[in-house]
A and B are shown apart, each in its own frame.
Chain A
Amino acid sequence: AQTVTQSQPEMSVQEAETVTLSCTYDTSESDYYLFWYKQPPSRQMILVIRQEAYKQQNATENRFSVNFQKAAKSFSLKISDSQLGDAAMYFCAYKGVGGSQGNLIFGKGTKLSVKP
C-alpha cells in the first residue's frame, strides 16, 4: 500500500526567509501525481502545487517550488520569501493513476508558523 510520510510535525520560519518542508512516499507504481495542499485556520484545503511523476522538471508556482527526487521517493516543498499568510498546515499527498489507487493519500501534515 502507498504511504506518505512527513517527518516534521512543526516548522517555523522568519518572515521573508525560505523554508523547506519534507515529504517522502512509498509506492511500486511508476506513474502517479504528488501534491502539496495548504490548510489555513479557516479549514479550507487549498492546492499549492502539483507534480506528475513522469515529468522530470520540478514544478514551480510563484514562491512555491518542489524538489522531486523520483528515485529517492522524495517530494519536498520550498517556500521562498515567506509571508504571514503562509502560516498553515501543509499536507503532502499522493495519487495513483490506476487500479484502486484513485484516492488521494495524505501525510500527517506539517504545521508551519511564520514569525514577523
Chain B
Amino acid sequence: DTAVSQTPKYLVTQMGNDKSIKCEQNLGHDTMYWYKQDSKKFLKIMFSYNNKELIINETVPNRFSPKSPDKAHLNLHINSLELGDSAVYFCASSRGPFTGELFFGEGSRLTVL
C-alpha cells in the first residue's frame, strides 16, 4: 500500500489549459502539503492544510487552487497553465503541522508546451 499517492505521475499539456493533480494519504495524518520542485531541484512549499483547513499559503499565483475534501485528500488545480509552471509537484503529509517528518508522494511531473 502506497502511503502517499499522487495521480497522475506525468502530465503533458498545452499553455492555457487547466489541469488537476490528486493526492491521497492513508497514514491517518492530519496535515498535507504541496511542494514544487523546479528544474534546479529546488523544493518550495506552496500550500499546507491541517484537518482540511488552509494553514500555509505561500506566494503562489491564484491560478493555483488547492482543495481538501477531507483530511486524507489534497488536490491541486491549476488554471491557465503557463510555461513556467513546468515542474515536479510533490504532495506530502505529516502527523501534524508541527510534529515529525513529512512523507512524500512520488511526485507529478508537469510539462507545459
Contact = CB atoms under 8 A, between A and B. Distances in A.
Interface of A: 33, 35, 37, 39, 42-45, 47, 50, 89, 91, 95-98, 100-106, 108-109
Given A33-B101, A103-B56, A44 B33 contact: no
Contacts, number: 61
Contact of B102 (A101, A104, A108, A109): A104
Interface of B: 31, 33, 35, 40-45, 48, 50, 55-56, 88, 90, 92, 96-104, 106-107, 109
B104 A98 contact: no
B41 A109 contact: yes
Contacts of A105: 45
A108 B40 contact: yes
Nearest to B88: A43
A50 B101 contact: yes
A44 B88 CA distance: 11
B98 A98 contact: yes
B33 A108 contact: no
Contacts of A97: 98-99
Contact of A43 (B33, B45, B106): B106
A91 B43 contact: yes
A4 B40 CA distance: 16
A48 to B, nearest CB: 10
Contacts of A43: 88, 106-107, 109
Contact of B43 (A47, A96, A102, A106): A106
Contacts of A95: 98, 101-102
A49 to B, nearest CB: 10
Nearest to B58: A103
A58 B76 CA distance: 38
Nearest to A42: B106
26 contacts: A35-B101, A37-B104, A43-B88, A43-B109, A47-B101, A47-B103, A50-B100, A50-B101, A89-B41, A95-B98, A95-B102, A96-B98, A97-B98, A98-B98, A102-B31, A102-B50, A102-B55, A102-B56, A102-B96, A103-B33, A104-B35, A104-B45, A104-B92, A106-B42, A106-B44, A109-B42
